[in-house]
Every structure is written in structure tokens, then in C-alpha cells.
Amino acid sequence: MPRFRDPPDPLFQRLNASIGFDRRLAPYDVQQSRAHARALRAAGILDSEELARMEQGLDTVADELEGGSFPIADAEEDIHVAIERRLTEIVGPLGGKLHTGRSRNDQVATDVALYVRDHAALARQLAGSLMARLLELAERHAAWPMPGYTHLQRAQPVYLGHHLLAYFWMLRRDASRFAQVGESAGELPLGAGALAGVNWDLDRQEVARELGFDSLAPNSIDAVSNRDFVLDYLSAASICAMHLSRLGAEIVLWSSDEFSFCEVAEDFSSGSSIMPQKKNPDAAELLRAKAPRIASGFLTLAGVMHGLPLAYSKDLQEDKEALFDAVDSLELCLEAAERMLGGLSFHRERLAEAAADEFGAATDIADLLVRKGMPFREAHGVVGGLVREALDQGKALSELTPAELSRHSHLLDDSYYEVLRAGQWLESKGSVGGTASARLAEQLDAARVALEEVRR
Amino acid sequence: MPRFRDPPDPLFQRLNASIGFDRRLAPYDVQQSRAHARALRAAGILDSEELARMEQGLDTVADELEGGSFPIADAEEDIHVAIERRLTEIVGPLGGKLHTGRSRNDQVATDVALYVRDHAALARQLAGSLMARLLELAERHAAWPMPGYTHLQRAQPVYLGHHLLAYFWMLRRDASRFAQVGESAGELPLGAGALAGVNWDLDRQEVARELGFDSLAPNSIDAVSNRDFVLDYLSAASICAMHLSRLGAEIVLWSSDEFSFCEVAEDFSSGSSIMPQKKNPDAAELLRAKAPRIASGFLTLAGVMHGLPLAYSKDLQEDKEALFDAVDSLELCLEAAERMLGGLSFHRERLAEAAADEFGAATDIADLLVRKGMPFREAHGVVGGLVREALDQGKALSELTPAELSRHSHLLDDSYYEVLRAGQWLESKGSVGGTASARLAEQLDAARVALEEVRR
Amino acid sequence: MPRFRDPPDPLFQRLNASIGFDRRLAPYDVQQSRAHARALRAAGILDSEELARMEQGLDTVADELEGGSFPIADAEEDIHVAIERRLTEIVGPLGGKLHTGRSRNDQVATDVALYVRDHAALARQLAGSLMARLLELAERHAAWPMPGYTHLQRAQPVYLGHHLLAYFWMLRRDASRFAQVGESAGELPLGAGALAGVNWDLDRQEVARELGFDSLAPNSIDAVSNRDFVLDYLSAASICAMHLSRLGAEIVLWSSDEFSFCEVAEDFSSGSSIMPQKKNPDAAELLRAKAPRIASGFLTLAGVMHGLPLAYSKDLQEDKEALFDAVDSLELCLEAAERMLGGLSFHRERLAEAAADEFGAATDIADLLVRKGMPFREAHGVVGGLVREALDQGKALSELTPAELSRHSHLLDDSYYEVLRAGQWLESKGSVGGTASARLAEQLDAARVALEEVRR
Amino acid sequence: MPRFRDPPDPLFQRLNASIGFDRRLAPYDVQQSRAHARALRAAGILDSEELARMEQGLDTVADELEGGSFPIADAEEDIHVAIERRLTEIVGPLGGKLHTGRSRNDQVATDVALYVRDHAALARQLAGSLMARLLELAERHAAWPMPGYTHLQRAQPVYLGHHLLAYFWMLRRDASRFAQVGESAGELPLGAGALAGVNWDLDRQEVARELGFDSLAPNSIDAVSNRDFVLDYLSAASICAMHLSRLGAEIVLWSSDEFSFCEVAEDFSSGSSIMPQKKNPDAAELLRAKAPRIASGFLTLAGVMHGLPLAYSKDLQEDKEALFDAVDSLELCLEAAERMLGGLSFHRERLAEAAADEFGAATDIADLLVRKGMPFREAHGVVGGLVREALDQGKALSELTPAELSRHSHLLDDSYYEVLRAGQWLESKGSVGGTASARLAEQLDAARVALEEVRR
């Protein structure tokens, strides 16, 4: 006599089933089941012969999953049910002992935690590879002047290597964040049962050790309700993807005819279906375009958990697709960014020409006046006037005559023209973290150390 | 001769001005300016007499700000301009020296980092107070049985103290997250200048020390473009607010006539404008309702930074309102939650009656069969049949006769009735982290330790 | 000599390809290609024999697509390329003429518009079916009293039919919104070319007529950049899904042991892997849980388009997955909701008992005092005092004695007790749109008319 | 004897009070109260003398509100309470009669609907003004060639007027959307009472007529729970703001030194605090930057309503700040955009020079081959080869020799060089909606008609 008389409605099955997407948890589910089986043995629920058979059965399941021969039954609800069903087909009724002292609630939470931990580690590693690529590019372009921008207006020249390192440090923060995500996923849910704990004293500590968890979820209700680690991954991924969107956007911009600062290699470009001349930086555009879907994944799960009563509710099944999509998108973007940057070529002369814009020295002239005793705010005004005059006359700053200069300030003498000799303005930015070559060299050293830490 | 001939259009002023909301950065701006002035002195840009006058001037500004007498000029753009303007009114042209070697770009980033650091610390502290309240409630209600729920259906009974501790551990994770936010905001931007570094070798290390930063932003472009620390705050706040929304939702639910598990005190309830009998748990509803706006703040800033070219763009001004709103909402919610919980009363008898529902022992009966040698999956089916029979006959499980039991399994003997004696089902959940009293006592101990760590 | 020398990098292919998800545009692409081919014929670019062969080729393609035998080539970028490639395999070089006067930019926009139009119509139809189900339920339960809630506290009793109709009107608004989405997708992009128009004077009006568009996109740049119609679908779907989330949440709530207002049929319920007694309203939970992902889809696309320069950028490829996921989720939810409601059973006695709570008549007593001349605000206060007294004494309102009443107001006489006779409080809500039976009957009539309009 | 013994906790007051932001509903609340008072008179609840006094009192309240002298009491909860309190101070106990047959639930919904209706109309009007400005600019720049872009790569030249009109049509769709929002807010909630209807037969139809509503909310429960019209406003505003973000982003881009296509006037630009030369397009950046906060407002409210049980819950108070912020941001952006565009100047020669890029004619050459009988796909390949050859040799397309051409296709004769004479490529885009002058003239005509419709 079954608990339910009526079979599920096909529409309900479609709505309810997660097998379409939770298959990718399969290796974690098998791994977990192995550890759980050993705990059942330690607690005397299985004998050693039963454990051996169960382990063999799980090995077979793992092989089938890996080899693609694992059969999904009609209307199978999820991968957890499928694996137990298949195990039972292989080892007989013994398979029915595996779920002793375990609920799908703590089982799923454990699988997802394992998945998050692995993919946080992978994201960290991929971030490291991209950092290495950025560092290598920065080293190679350490002495290439380019205009630095604020408000997309030329502001002050910087070295291209300095600019590229800005992305390096963003990625380093991402790598740190993914390390924290790993910690966040480091509490073992298994043993929480449905919500209250289980009727068996299984050795959770040993299971944790075996599965690589740092500690045990201290409260069984929280253990099955908690998806913070997924949110932590999604948040870290959102921020990382935002960084990549800025990188992508700059490459798109710099690849325009108007900027012509760089060119994406052909193997990362697309043509047009109608315009035979086109070579489009599609990869860079997609790096830019992927960020919102990942951030929306954070919102999806935060929205799903909004106001949700304890402990487990079916709504939590909606954690997976947002997570998997973010993982796929982010990992692909990190890899593609690294490869695309590898083939990116910069146009040194074009960059240098743009960097030579004399207006980029306006602050240096103001600071010259400061050195002569004028308060900065006043000096800023004086130089503003010079800029106005130059614009009105259609002259470069260095083309203003001494007579013209003196109308603006009697402090403006030959040193004015000296400041305007190019190159100085980059080297004068000698504060720690500034673009001056010596500081950039220090920064490259620091980057090498930081990269080592990420790769360790 | 000014750089700009035309004054700003009033519409542009309205769009552009941040003074309406960035006032709250004022104390941080003054603090930063003090440190910057001392760095200017150390670099010889100010002499000691000038520094003394400037510090006095800044003291006056600080007093005016605190006392509410600080005058905002017409059409003033932002608090940074306002403070320099006011300082100059007080100390004369000397005030114009303060901005030497500093740009609004690194200045704003520094103020915001200081703000984030302070409010991350405050959020951690408030989370600690709420944890203390939850712990105290859990201790007081450690032995009160209540039904535990999954899918909002009664599942297995738990102790109310155990349920309350689930929130304790959520808040502990929040507290950890806010500690990480503090670290994330721990790199000093000041010294990055507009984007390239500055023309002066100011001692950034000393400034960092004075302002309490752990280290220096290593790249000047990144320093002025980076708002990760704001995103980190918003992400941590989103997750914390989601936890509070679950707490609020449960209190709303439990305060319903149908549940009647608890009652919010009058000083945290509202009446109705038309229905004189009403006593509504408005505070709990608002705890629930505040979460989406905070998560949306994360989306706002992630969206603003999407595809934004380096270095500073005006778009970054949109970091502040999302942040300030999240800070205000979260701090208020944390404080209010702690106070509301202080006055919450639980209904012991009603909880106990609901917890006594025998169906909550179904797993225990299945596990009884497992102890007698039946595989769990089979046992699950047998007990499902018992439940069906009980439902069909309108009986409780303990009212099934031995004859009826034996039709389901010959293993069902007197031990079946023993299991159904209430209380056992809570105490049988003896796995680590489970609801059994001994485990709950361990958990309370662990919570006390965790609280100490947060409060340290 | 090809434009590109290097083949695409495999990582770039993975990032760039949309074939994994844009396959579902295939029928629209074929439909569009048929219309485009006829326009090419009318413009003399194809002769009639060529058109006939091309149409046959497209028929074959359509058959292969429908029958599942359509071959996707290795590393194929998208469905549009695949169809042209396949067509050319079938009809030879003639296939290469199909793309004359067409760009993938206007082609994709046209396919997506066709898709949106169809699925907006389907959403409207499914909303209509759900409205019909709600109306039928409302008719059947028109005379069943239940407690109405505000703040999840019992407020005033209503008829269950009245409560159910609240959802009917939400769905009617959804149906209107989807009709507007159809209009929003009603401008033909085809003919816009890459962005500037095409070099051929194809008869766009005729193409529009053939494909069922109302009008022509008036500006070629806008035509290829515009995804408003997708955003309109996503917005409408978000709001509809939010309505369903409220419906799902109420069914979850009402299915709890504590409420016991209704029971979901077994074919829309799930058991538990560990607790044999459980019958969980999974379908209702998932109705609730799907809303955030759909709303996040709106955010994704709004985020992708944020600050995107004209005309087409690759970023726009990110419109599809958000759209397709929303379509799948919403259509499934609408269908499942209709079916689940079909099997939902309500518990009349339990509802009636809860509706009989006398405090639900508090407003009626206040209004009684108003009829006797007391201002409402004062009457509200008097009744508040009565409620307090009843609570303090543990009495129902009707158990207060005349002596007790007179201490609160001398206007409280026998009519007080009359008002407290149940049933009156529902029938007294006789304002238009109120729950009184006569008004409910009017509302049911209006609902029938509204349903007809949606179904027309 | 009051219902509540304890006064609200100050923290609860802070959490609960909406007076800080709902003040802006005051004029709507007074307007509604006037209509409600007249309905009370018509129903005999007020006599005509009472109505006259009440109307006078409401006039005084309205004057005080407008004049800024309206007193907010300590710890006042919301504007509705404040207005009734103040009215009662003015007219005595009679003020207490105003709330007869009205609940704050239907009152608030009505105020918000009035607010949305007004601001939807205003948004439509402001969109109309911006459309007029765009149309005027398009007319003035109808014959200015510029490069059209896809993927931010030069694609095909277009007229600047054509490009500007793309924004015109976006705004026209926005205007339509706001008209629909007005309809969505067109059902009167008042009369729904707390949730069940009211005990008085007030003439809702007359109230609707007086307040300008099209119809009556047909279901009282839905009437107080419904915020669809707010979501509709937020959705329309999100899409409109996204359009403005694209406009702003293009102006930022075009104002860069590298593009130099246009220049923002000084009165819509900002300087730099440290770089005296800077003139930054801050207004355009902020147009871009405001979109995410508005879209997040949609998410906030959708999130708040997620899974919310019927009827009114306090959570709905969170509708207002998201709405008000969106209204403020959008209206300011629309106005500022119109004004900024008024002062924008374009650089004709720079645009023309960029538009003369011969690669923009590649499609025209392919189409030339098509006219000679070659299938387009083949022609596309031939021209791709020409482009490759030109790039490799560092030549323009027109510099390839006849001998070189013939190596690619024997069909390439003198007509090739004819096509490459500039200007032709714009005029050849003669499909409806294309950039050719005649088509652009038609489009300008259509735009004038469309503008009239919006302004009607």
C-alpha cells in the first residue's frame, strides 16, 4: 500500500523534475555516497561485505556516468533518485540501504557545496591564468606611453603596462573572493537529515575529512536551508564578470577605427554576413555582454530565498540553474579573455601620438606654479586660463609666447616650456602606485608576488 | 581668464550635484584632509605654521559640520568642494593649498572606503547584538518542542531553541562577511591622483597608517576606478537582509491566528485605520520587505560599472545612493530585529500540541525497521503504507492495531508503539548538529564561543 | 583569397556560437526566408524558376528541422548560417542568392520579433485558460465564507469565490499586457540591412503583410538595435510570474496543517526521500519560486543594452537565452497552475470556522456607532476598547455584557449583538466590488465578459 | 480604554514611518478626500453643512501643504494620518468622520494610482519634448554623412539625421508605453475598504468620474493588493532610461578626442579638480549612469511582491521609494537630455572624413557583382578577398588596379571604381527606412506626424 495513490501529472513532472540540469552534480553525488556508505559501515548499518558491494556498485555507476552510458529512466525526478535507482539495479535491495540516515535535503546541499567549492577553486585558477597573461602583457608594454582617460577624455598620459595592470589587480581581488567562497562552502551539511538531524550517530567529522570539508554545519535546520555559499559564488562571479566587461568594453573601444589602439587577432574576430570588409571584436563584446546575466543570477537566488520559511522548501531547487549558468559563463569568459589577450596587438605609434597631447601636462604646469609658491587652487585657475587661450588661438600650450604667458602669471618662465617636453609628465607621476617607470617596476614586482600567492 | 566661459545650466546642476546626498561623507573628508595636510607638511609643501592654521581651520569646519552650522553655498556641487571652499573662507588662500597632490577622484574613493569600513564594522557589531539576542532566546526556549517544517508541512519536531539558532548561524556568516568587507575596503586610494599618480612624493604609507588602512592601492588607475568594496558591502548586506527577511516572514507566519506560535509585543505592532481589532506585525513585515531594495542596490552599482572604461567616469557617482540606502536600511533592520525579538513571546502549549503530531515520527518508525534489518528504502515504503492506512481510517499512527501493523510488516511489534511515545523523536535526533538536547547543549556552547569571536 | 586567414579559436567558437540555443528560431527563419525569397523574385533578383527551387529547398529544410534530421555542421555559428548552408547543399549555388539584400542583423531581429509575437499570443491564451479555471472555481465557491487577511492577520471575512477572483483580475491584466507585447513586436525589421538600409528596393510592405507584421520599422538603425519588444515580453512575464508566485505562496500557506484550508491533489504533490508521511505542495512552491528568474531576465537584457552604442553590437545576442528561459518558465507555470487548481480541494468547514471569528466584525460595530451619529474615528476608538476588554477577559465580543458595553459607550445597545450574528459581516460589504453576494454575482458576470474578450 | 497599551518603540517608529517620503502624495490625498467627502454627503453620512466645513478644512490643509506651513507632528506615521489629524485640528471632531467607509489600504492605493497617472502623463510629455529636439536636430543634420557602426566598427555611412532619428523612434515607443501606464493606473481602488468592500453604498462611479479614473477596480481584495500600475511605470521608465543611457554613451564616445564627432556645450560640462584642461561630458555620463537604478526599482518592487499573500501587507509600503526615485531620475534625465542636445555641436568635416572610408562600400561592390549575376554569398567572398588584398598592400579599395581586380573576378570592371565614388553608398540605401535622402525625407515626415500624436 503506497502513500500516494495517484501518479504525478505529466505537467507536474515537467515542472518538478530537475534531472534536466542537476546531472552535473552526479560525480559529487557518487563521491558523497561513497563517504556516506563508509560512515554507515562504521556505524554498523552496513557490514563490510555490504560496503564492498556498494562501493563496487558506485564504481560502476561512476563509470557509466563518465562514459555516457548511464541510463535515465522515464520521468525520473532528479539525479539523486536516478543514482540510487541505478545502484539498486546493480547491487539489488542492498542499494536501498544507502539512504539510511540521509535525506535528499542534506544530500543536495552537500552536492552543491562540493560543486561550488570545486568551481570556486577553478575560477581562482583561471583568474590566475588571466593575471599571468596581463602581467606578461604589462611587462612587454611597460614603456609604451598612451593617454590615460577620465570621463573618456584624455587626462594624463600613462604607460600601457600600467593601464593593463589595473586589470591585474581587479583579478587579484577576484581570486581572493573565490578563495573566500571556498571557505563559505566549507561546512558539511550531510548529517542534518531532513532538518532535525538523523536517528543514527554517523561520524560526520570523518565524512567531512573524507570529502574535504573544513568543518560541520553546526545546526541541522540551517544546514538544509542555507545557500549562502551559492550566493557568495554568484556575488564573486558578478564582480569578476563586471571586471571582464570593462576589459571587453575597452578592447571594443580601442579596436575602433577612431581609437586604433589595438587589434584583436583574427581567430577571436568575426566577419559580417553582409559587409565583406568587417572584422568585428565579437569576443570582446561578449566579454562585456555576459556580466548582466551573472549578476541577475545573484538576484534570482536572493529573490527565491526572500522571505522563505525554514527549513527546506522546494523553491531552493531554483539555486542550480542560476549557479550553473554563472559557472559556465564565467569560466568560458575567463579562458577566452586570456586567449584573446594573447593575440591582441597594440599600435605603439598611434598610442604615443595620442599620449603626446600637451594638454595632458596641464596639472604638471599647475604643480610647477605650486613649487614657485602659488596655492594649487590658484595655479589651477591660471592654467585653466592658459588652456582657454590656447584653445581660442588654436595653439598648443607650448606655442604660447612668453609674453602671453606673463599675462597669466609672472611666475611662468622657461621652466614652463621644459615641463612641456613630453615624457616628463609620465615620469613625474612618481608617487607610490603612480605610472612613473620606477614605480611601475615596483608594481610589476608586487604583481609577480601576488600572482605567486594566487597560484600557490 | 577662466577655462569655462559659461556657467552651468540649472538643469545640469541638478543632474550633476551630489551635495544632496554626499554630505554624510563630510566627517571622512575632514579626517582625510587632516592626514593629507600632514603629508603635505612632511613633503615640504606646507610649512608648520601653515599646517597648524590648516588644522585649526579643519577643526572649525568639523565643528560646524557636527553642529549643523556648516553653510552650503548655492549650487555647490559636492561636499568636497564645499569643505575646501569653507576652509578657504576661514583660513584664506592657504585653503587653496590643500588640494595639492590630490584629485577629487582619489579623494572620493578614499572617503567612500572609510565610510564602508566604518559601516561594515557597525553592521558586524549589530549582527553581534542580534546574535546575542537570538542566543538568549534559544537558551530560554531550548526545551520547548515545536514542529519543524519542510515545504511548510510539518516534518519532524525540533526544539524552538534549535530553530532559533538556525538564524544565529546565518548572522554569524553575515558577521564574517562584514569582516571581509572591511578588509576589502582596506587599501588606501589617496595618492592615486586623477588616475596616474601625483607629481609629489607624498608618504602614502604614513597616510594609510593614520587613516587606519592596511595597505596602499598598488595601481593608481585601479585606485580611482575601483568600487569593489562598495559591491562587497552591498552583497554582504543583501545576504544579511535576505536572512532577516526569512526571520521576518516566519514571525509574520507564526503570528497568524492559524499558527499562533508567537506574539509580537505591542510596541512593535500597528493597528488598522479601519479595523479596530487589528494588531499587525508591521515590523516583521518590513524586515521581510527591505531585502529586495538592498539586493537591487547591488544590481544598480554592478549595472553602473558594466562596461565602463577606465579610469574614473562620472557614472561612479551613482555608487553612493545605493550604498547609503543599503546602510540605512540594514542598520535599522538589524537594530529593530534585535529589539522586536526582545519583546516576542512564544506560546508553549500551542507549540507543544503541534509538535505532538504523530506523523512526525514516521522516519523514526522507518529507522526502527532498519534496525531490524530492513533496507531503508523498503522501510520507507512500509511506513508510507501505514500512513496511508491511518489517513484512510482517520486514525493516528498509534491507533493502528497490532493486526493492522502486521499486514504491513511482520517486523512491526511493540517497539512500534514505544517509538510513538512523544519526545523520543526529538531526542533520537542525536547526530552532531541535530536537535537532541545533548546536541543542542553542545550547539549553544559553540554559539557562545562564536559570539565571543564576533564581539572581540 | 579570404578576408580572414586564421580560423576561429575553439574557445572563441564556444563563446561566440549561438547555435546551442537559437535553434528554436529555425521555423521563424524559414518562414522569413520564404517571404524574403518572394520579395527577391518581385524585385527581379530571382527569376520564377529560381524562386520555385528555393521554395522547395526551404520546404526540405523545414521538413528536416521538424523531423529532427536537420544536420548541424561542426562549429556552426548560428541557425541562420546553418539554414543557408543547408539550403545551398540542397539547391546548389542558388542558395547563395538568398542573403541578397538582407543582413543577419535585420534577419535576427525579425526572427526574434516573430518569436515574441507568437509567444505573447500563447501566454495570453494560457492566461485565458487559467482565468477560466479561476472563474469556474470562484463560481463553485461563491458562497463559502473564509477569513480575509491583511498583514496575514484575520481582518474581515470574505467569500472564497471573491478571493479567487482577485487572481482572475490579475491574470486579465496580464492578458492585456501580452496583447500590448504583440503590438510592440509588430514592426518589421527586415529591410533594414546591416544598419543603413539595403541597396535593393524590396517591397517591405508586402513582406510585412505576408509575415503578419502591422507596420514597418521606420528607421533602419533603430530596427537592428531595438529589442524593446523582448523587454516588453520580459516585463509582462515578470509581472505575470509575480502574480503566480502569490497564488503559489497562498496555496503553500493554505496547505499547511495550521491553515488546512485546502489540499493539493496527489498528482501535483511530492513525497519525501526520508519522511514517509510527507505530502508536499511542490508545484505550488515552484509557482512561487519561478518569478525571480523571470524578473532577472528583464534585468539581464536591460543590463546588456545599458549604454550600448548604435547600431547592432554582438552583445544583443544575449537577448535570447533570457527570453527563451522566461518563455519556457512562464508557459509551464501557467499550464501547471491551471491543472493544479483543477485538482485543488477546499475544506469548507475549516474555512467557515475560521471566518466566524467575531473580531472580524469590529468594523461593522464601529460603523453601527457611526450610524448612531458618532464620528468614525471616535467609534474606532470605542471598539478598540471593547476588543481590549474582550482580550483581557478572555471573552468573545458577543460575551461582553450590556453593562460592560455601556461603560464604553451609551450608544451600544441590542443592535450590537445583532451585528455580531455571523454572515451579516460578509453581506454588509455591499459596495461595488465588495464581497457581498449580490456584488459577487455582478463580479462573476463581469468576469465572464472579460474572459470572453481575452478568448476572442 | 485603548486597543494598545504600549506606545510604539522609537526603533519601530523609524522602521514603520513613511512620512519621510510619502509627503509627496499629499496633494493627491487631499484631492481624494474631497471626492470621498462628497460621496459621504451623497450617502447621507455627512450633511451639507458638514461637507462645506470639511471642504473648507481641506482647502486650508491644501494651502498649508502648498505653502510649506503644514505641521508634521512628532512620530507621525504617514501623510494620510497627518492630514486627518490636521483636518481635525481645524474642523474639530467632524474631521473624524472623513475616514468613514475608507481604509488606509484603498486610500493609499488610490493616491499612488493618481500619482502614477500624473507622472506617466508627464513622462510622455517630456518624451515628446525630447522627440521634438531630436527631430529638429535630425532636420538640421539630414545631409551630414557620418560612419554608421556595427560592433563599434565602421560599417556603412549614414546621414547624421538618420542616426539621430533612431533615438526619436525609441522615444516614441516610450511615449506609447507611458500612455499604457496611464491606462493601467485607471481603475479606482477607493471603495475597496480594508479588503472586503465597505459597509456603505458609496457611489464609486461618481468618485471615479471626479478623480478622472476610467473605471472601478472590480474586486476589493485585488484593489488593495495590486501594484501592477507601479510596476508598469517602473518597467516603462527602465526601458526609457535604457534608451537615454545609449544616447548618453554615444555622446560620451563622440566627445572623445579620438572620435571628435561632437562637443557638449560648456553649460553641460564639468572641469576637473586637479586637471585644469579638462572639459568632461558629465551630463552625458549621468544620462548613461541613471538607467540601472531605475531598472533596479522594478526589481525591488517585483521582489517585494514575490510570494506575498493577499490582501494588503505592510511590505507594499516599499512601493513608494522605488517609484519616487524612478520618477525623479527619469524626469530629470529627460529634461536634461533635451537641454543638453540643444547645445550640442557636431563637427561636420570630421564626420565626413570618417564617413569617406572606402571600406564602407564593400557591400555595394558585392551587390554590384550580384547585379552582374553572381550569387550574393559568392560576391561576398570575392569582395572579402579584395579587402584582404587592399589591407595587405596598404591600399585603399579604389587604388587596386584593374589587373588586381580581375584576379578576383572577371566581372570587376570600371563600374567598380564608379561605386567607390563617395556619396553613392548613402544614396544607394534606398529601401524604406534606409538612409538615402529620399527615404530620410519620408522618415522626417513620418516623425513629424508621430510627434503630433504624442503631443496631442
Domain edge (last residue) among A316, A332, A354: A354
What pLDDT, in 10s, does the model give residues B71-129? 988 788 999 999 999 999 999 999 999 999 999 999 999 999 999 999 999 999 999 99
Q: Are residues C373 and C407 in the same domain?
A: yes
Q: How many folded domains does chain D comprise?
A: 3
Instruction: For residues B214 and B188, give the distance between their C-alpha atoms in angstroms, rounded to a whole number.
Output: 8
A428 to chain D: which residues are within 8 Å by CB? none
Cβ atoms C377, D96 nearer than 8 A = yes
Q: Do C228 and D173 touch (CB under 8 A)?
A: yes
Q: Are residues A182 and A280 in the same domain?
A: yes
Domain edge (last residue) among C328, C354, C380: C354
Identify from B282, B306, B340 which residue to disrupt to test chain D contact, counting D C-beta atoms within 10 A and taking the largest count. B282
Q: Which residue has the cell 520564377?
A: C48
Q: Are residues A191 and A265 in the same domain?
A: yes
Q: Do D150 and C105 touch (CB under 8 A)?
A: yes
The B residues from 213 to 232 touching A (CB cutoff 8 Å) are 216-226, 228, 231-232
C-alpha cell at C124: 495570453
What pLDDT, in 10s, does the model give residues B29-78? 999 999 999 999 999 999 999 999 999 999 999 999 999 999 988 788 99
Q: What is the pLDDT of residue D1?
A: 78
Give φ, ψ of B271 to 5 degrees: -90, -170
Instruction: For residues C328 and C339, give the distance between their C-alpha atoms in angstroms, rounded to a whole number.
Output: 17
Q: Do A376 and B173 touch (CB under 8 A)?
A: no
C-alpha cell at C137: 472555481
**Is beta strand C145-150 parallel, antiparallel or unpaired with respect to B145-150?**
unpaired
* D439: CATH: 1.10.40.30
* Three-state secondary structure string covering B152-218: CEEEEEEEHHHHHHHHHHHHHHHHHHHHHHHHHCCEECCCCCCCCCCCCCCCHHHHHHHHCCCEECC
A279 to chain D: which residues are within 8 Å by CB? 153
Q: Are residues C70 and C131 in the same domain?
A: no
Instruction: For residues B176 and B337, give the distance between their C-alpha atoms in angstroms, rounded to a whole number.
Output: 19
Contacts (Cβ under 8 Å, ≥6 apart) of B214: B183, B186, B187, B208
Identify from B152, B219, B365 which residue to disrupt to test chain A contact, counting A C-beta atoms within 10 A and taking the largest count. B219
Cβ atoms A164, A137 nearer than 8 A = yes
Residue contacts between A and C (CB atoms, under 8 Å): 207
C-alpha cell at D259: 572620435
Residue D4 lies in a domain: no
A193 to chain C: which residues are within 8 Å by CB? 274
Report chain B's terminal Cα–Cα distance, integer Å. 58
What pLDDT, in 10s, does the model give residues D227-281? 999 999 999 999 999 999 999 999 999 999 999 999 999 999 999 888 889 999 9
pLDDT above 90 (res A296): yes
3-state helix vs strand vs coil in chain D, percent to 5: 65, 5, 30
Domain edge (last residue) among D68, D100, D132: D100
Q: What is the band of B1 on the pLDDT scale with cuts at 50, 70, 90?
A: confident
The residue-averaged pLDDT of A243-269 equals 97
Of all residues in chain B, the one with the smallest CA distance to C284 is B151
Q: Are residues B345 and B413 in the same domain?
A: no
B317 to chain D: which residues are within 8 Å by CB? 286, 289
pLDDT above 70 (res C152): yes
A274 at interface of D, judged by CB pairs closer than 8 A: yes
Q: What radius of gyration, in Å, describes the C-alpha atoms of chain C?
A: 30
pLDDT above 70 (res C153): yes
Q: Do D11 and B318 touch (CB under 8 A)?
A: no
Q: Do B204 and A432 touch (CB under 8 A)?
A: yes
Q: Are residues A271 and A410 in the same domain?
A: no
Cα-Cα-Cα-Cα dihedral of D383, D385, D388, D390, to 10°? -60
What pLDDT, in 10s, does the model give residues A230-246? 999 999 999 999 999 99
Q: Is C184 noted as a catalytic residue in this protein?
A: no
Q: What is the pLDDT of residue D40?
A: 97
Instruction: Write the residue in A273, A276, A386 that is nearest to D383 by C-beta.
Output: A276
The residue-averaged pLDDT of D165-179 equals 98
**Is beta strand C187-188 parallel, antiparallel or unpaired with respect to C153-159?**
unpaired
Q: Which of B239, B227, C297 is nearest to A233 (CA)?
A: B239
Q: Do A150 and D384 touch (CB under 8 A)?
A: no
pLDDT above 80 (res C423): no
A359 to chain B: which residues are within 8 Å by CB? none
Instruction: For residues A394 and A382, give the distance between their C-alpha atoms in angstroms, rounded to a whole number.
Output: 18
Report chain C's terminal Cα–Cα distance, integer Å. 58
Residue C2 lies in a domain: no
Q: Do B166 and A205 touch (CB under 8 A)?
A: no
What pLDDT, in 10s, does the model give residues B348-364? 999 999 999 899 999 99
Residue D1 lies in a domain: no
Q: Are residues A160 and A283 in the same domain?
A: yes
B238 at interface of A, judged by CB pairs closer than 8 A: yes
C-alpha cell at D445: 515626415
Instruction: Write the residue in B5, B9, B279 that is nearest to D268 by C-beta.
Output: B9
Q: Is A151 noted as a catalytic residue in this protein?
A: yes
Residue C5 lies in a domain: no
D318 to chain C: which residues are within 8 Å by CB? none
Instruction: For residues D291 and D243, give the distance between their C-alpha atoms in angstroms, rounded to a whole number.
Output: 9
The residue-averaged pLDDT of A177-194 equals 97
Q: What is the pLDDT of residue B421?
A: 79
Q: Are residues D187 and D332 in the same domain?
A: yes
Q: What is the band of C287 on the pLDDT scale with cuts at 50, 70, 90?
A: very high
The residue-averaged pLDDT of B182-205 equals 96
pLDDT above 90 (res C75): no
Which contiguous run of DSSP H or E holds residue C147?
A: strand C145-150
Contacts (Cβ under 8 Å, ≥6 apart) of A447: A131, A135, A138, A165, A168, A169, B218
- Considering chain A, what percentage of its residues have pLDDT values greater than 90? 94
Q: What is the pLDDT of residue D3?
A: 85
Burial class (CB in 10 A: 0-12, 13-18, 19+), A124: buried
Q: Are residues C134 and C271 in the same domain?
A: yes
Identify from D258, D273, D298, D364 which residue to disrupt to test chain A contact, counting A C-beta atoms within 10 A and taking the largest count. D258
- Average confidence score pLDDT of chain C: 95
Residue A2 lies in a domain: no
Instruction: For residues C217 and C191, give the distance between their C-alpha atoms in angstroms, rounded to a whole number.
Output: 9
Cα C390-C395-C399 angle, rounded to 5 deg = 100
Q: Tell me the pTM.
A: 0.97
Residue D3 lies in a domain: no
Q: Which one is catalytic: C48, C69, C151, C306?
A: C151
**Is beta strand C262-263 parallel, antiparallel or unpaired with respect to C345-346?**
antiparallel
What was the ipTM of the complex prediction?
0.96
Q: Are residues C342 and C414 in the same domain?
A: no
Q: What is the band of B423 on the pLDDT scale with cuts at 50, 70, 90?
A: low
pLDDT above 70 (res D155): yes
Q: Which one is catalytic: A48, A69, A103, A151?
A: A151
Which contiguous run of DSSP H or E holds residue B384?
A: helix B376-393
Of all residues in chain D, the one with the smallest CA distance to B294 is D300
C271 to chain B: which residues are within 8 Å by CB? 384
Q: Are residues C28 and C148 in the same domain?
A: no
Q: Which string of DSSP letters, residue by residue, matches B224-268?
A: HH--HHHHHHHHHHHHHHHHHHHHHHHHHHHTSTTT--EE--GGG
B219 to chain A: which residues are within 8 Å by CB? 162, 165-166, 168-169, 433, 443
- Considering chain B, what percentage of its residues have pLDDT values greater than 70? 100
Identify from A18, A190, A224, A266 which residue to disrupt to test chain C contact, counting C C-beta atoms within 10 A and taking the largest count. A266
Q: What is the pLDDT of residue B412?
A: 94
Q: Which of C318, C320, C322, C341 is nearest to C237 (CA)?
A: C322
Q: Which one is catalytic: D215, D256, D272, D406?
A: D272
Residue D383 lies in a domain: yes
> What is the extent of the structural domain holding C86?
10-100
* C94: CATH: 1.10.275.10
- Average confidence score pLDDT of chain D: 95
Q: Do D276 and A153 touch (CB under 8 A)?
A: no
pLDDT above 90 (res C293): yes
Instruction: For residues D94 and D117, give the distance between their C-alpha atoms in angstroms, rounded to a whole number.
Output: 31
Q: What is the pLDDT of residue C389?
A: 93
Q: Are residues B422 and B445 in the same domain?
A: yes
* C155: CATH: 1.20.200.10
Closest-CA distance, B86 to chain A, in angstroms, reads 13
| Chains in touch with C (≥3 Cβ pairs < 8 A) | A, B, D
Residue B406 lies in a domain: yes
- Average confidence score pLDDT of chain B: 95
Tell me the H-state helices in B2-103. Answer: 10-16, 19-22, 26-42, 48-67, 79-91
